[in-house]
Amino acid sequence: MREPTKERHEGVPADNVAERLAAESLGYLKPLYAAGLRLTRNPADAEDLVQDTFVKALRFAERFTPGTNLKAWLFTILHNTWRNRLRDASRAPVDVDSERAEEAAGAAQASAETPERILLRATLDADLQAALDSLPEAFRQAVWLRDVEEFSYAEIAGMLDVPIGTVMSRISRGRRLLFDRLSRVAQKAKVEVGGR
Amino acid sequence: MSDCRRIAERLASYADDLLTPSERAVVDQHLAQCSHCRRAAASEQGARTIVRARAETLRGGALPPGLRSRCEAIAREQLTPAPPFWRRRLVPLALTAVLVLFTVFAVISLATQRSNTLFAAQLAADHVKCVQGVATPGTASADASRLESLLFEEYGWKVRVPPSSHAGGVELIGAGRCLVGAGVVPHLVYRTGGRDVSLYMMEGVTRGEADVVTLGYRSRVWSRGATTFVLVSPADAGELATAVDYLRQEAH
């Protein structure tokens, strides 16, 4: 009774744990949907993915350890579900995609733009969304989870089921690739404006 | 070169400011001498700043209408079993048993290859779960071509919906989607002999012919082209031979 986590385990009937988990999970629908949208790039698929995630969270409620990060747990289910769907649909596996892109990212040279100048110009949210969506899936996931949702490397490693080193490398390469795309957008805008 | 590679591994932590002072000093020292890595570090820092500055907006899109209420309904359904709709045909105990078995089967199915019985049991539970959403009790028979265009417009599914048929002894009650083990699939509901039966269409799923009775429901499984069809009916509804023949012939 003195320790809050113990109290939850012993003092509260299982039903209440599930009820609380359901209520708290409803509060994370928005970030889950936003992440789902970045994964699927399609509103209807994102909706199905989130609903599926929610159903699984309730079904496996007893596997959640009270006191740990519920949001991270839900994101783990979201990504597992997404991976299973990709596998079921036998689309190109994530890793092939990312390896090719990793090479591309390694070869890509950053432009002469400075971050500050890009930041000034690339404020158009549509540009940023488009640049993010154009990233290979593995990088898009890593950057989103780190910089939008601010999960730790270890949490992201759990969600994506890859080693921490891979997570760090994907974040790093994903960010550089994103910056590269943004600077291209910015340069294109400059050319268009100059051409008038 | 190997220096650059070692530094590259640390650039994420460098941008996230998670390095110890001494690790950071090593990176700084390298960056001072290497323009390639310096550019990489600046790009990384730049993207990080932009995304974080816009995180709220990126995440901020509204939820699609209905998603929240559907999840709330799922929570109510899972937390308080025995919806009144089934009261007449099934005692609450039986429904609870179905839900418990469904959960157990769902867990088992993660580890094992789904057998026909398991597959049928899941669909029996899916029938219980979805039939109410697809068909409102007491609805008059539905128009097949309207449902076909609805399935196409709403979900992008091109399916042929067999219409009500006097000769086939079936009345089309409704159509919608149902989340089953294979994903979200078209779900048609017919009434035959006064009972509701579900027809699921699973594109890209290949399963052999089967006729399985489990959990009080009978599932008839057949394939046509790349699509597997499953007709789920209450086991005590009997053979339903005419209806089954009709639907097997007409659904594709």
CATH number of the domain bearing residue A116: 1.10.10.10
Sequential DSSP letters for A35-81: HHHHHHSSHHHHHHHHHHHHHHHHHTGGGS-TTS-HHHHHHHHHHHH
Contact B115, B207 (CB under 8 A): no
**Window from A46-55, A180-189, B95-104, B199-208 with minimum mean pLDDT:** B95-104
Distance CA(B217)–CA(B127), nearest Å, equals 9
C-alpha pair distances (Å), A77 with each of A38, A86, A142: 16, 14, 16
Q: Is the pLDDT of residue A120 over 80?
A: no
**Window from A121-125, A172-176, B213-217 with minimum mean pLDDT:** A121-125
Distance CA(A62)–CA(B103), nearest Å, equals 12
Structural domain including A18 reads 4-88
* pTM of the predicted model as reported, rounded to 2 decimal places: 0.53
Question: Distance between alpha carbon A96 and the CA centroid of its chain, in Å?
Answer: 19
For residues A55 and A143, state if they share a domain. no
Q: How many separate domains does chain A show?
A: 2
Domain boundaries, chain B: 2-59, 67-250
For residues A101 and A22, state if they share a domain. no
Exposed / middle / buried, residue A152 (Cβ in 10 Å: 0-12, 13-18, 19+): middle
Query: Number of CB pairs < 8 Å for A and B?
Result: 147
B105 contacts: CB under 8 Å, gap ≥ 6 = B118, B121, B122, B125
Residues 116-175 of A with CB under 8 A from B: 116, 118-119, 122-123, 125, 128-129, 132, 143, 146-150, 153, 165, 168-169, 171-172, 174-175
pLDDT of residue A186: 66
Higher pLDDT: B114 or A29? It is A29
Q: Is the pLDDT of residue A10 over 50?
A: no
Structure-derived torsion over alpha carbons of residues A144, A148, A153, A156, reported in degrees to the nearest 10: -50
Strand, helix or coil for residue A13: coil
Taking only the tens of pLDDT, chain B with its 252 residues reads 468 999 999 999 999 999 999 999 999 999 999 999 999 999 999 899 889 988 888 887 788 888 999 999 888 887 765 445 545 555 556 666 767 777 665 665 554 444 677 777 777 777 777 777 776 655 667 888 888 888 888 788 888 899 998 888 898 988 888 777 767 788 898 988 888 899 998 887 777 788 888 778 888 988 888 888 999 998 888 778 888 899 988 888
For residues A176 and A151, state if they share a domain. yes
Last residue of a domain, one of A40, A61, A88: A88
State the complex-level ipTM: 0.73
For residues A185 and A99, state if they share a domain. yes
pLDDT in tens, B6-27: 999 999 999 999 999 999 999 9
| HSE value, Cβ hemisphere, 13 Å, CA-based, for A159 | 28
Sequential DSSP letters for B162-212: PPPBTTTTBEEEEEEEEEETTEEEEEEEEEETTEEEEEEEEET-----EEE
Contact B4, B37 (CB under 8 A): yes
Q: Of A61, A83, A102, A98, which is closest to residue A160 (Cα–Cα)?
A: A83
Sequential DSSP letters for A97-114: HHHHHHHHHHHPPP-S--
For residues A81 and A99, state if they share a domain. no
With CB atoms and an 8 Å threshold, state whether B59 touches A30.
Answer: yes
Residues 12-41 of A with CB under 8 A from B: 15, 18-19, 22-23, 25-26, 29-31, 33-34, 37
Higher pLDDT: A186 or B225? It is B225
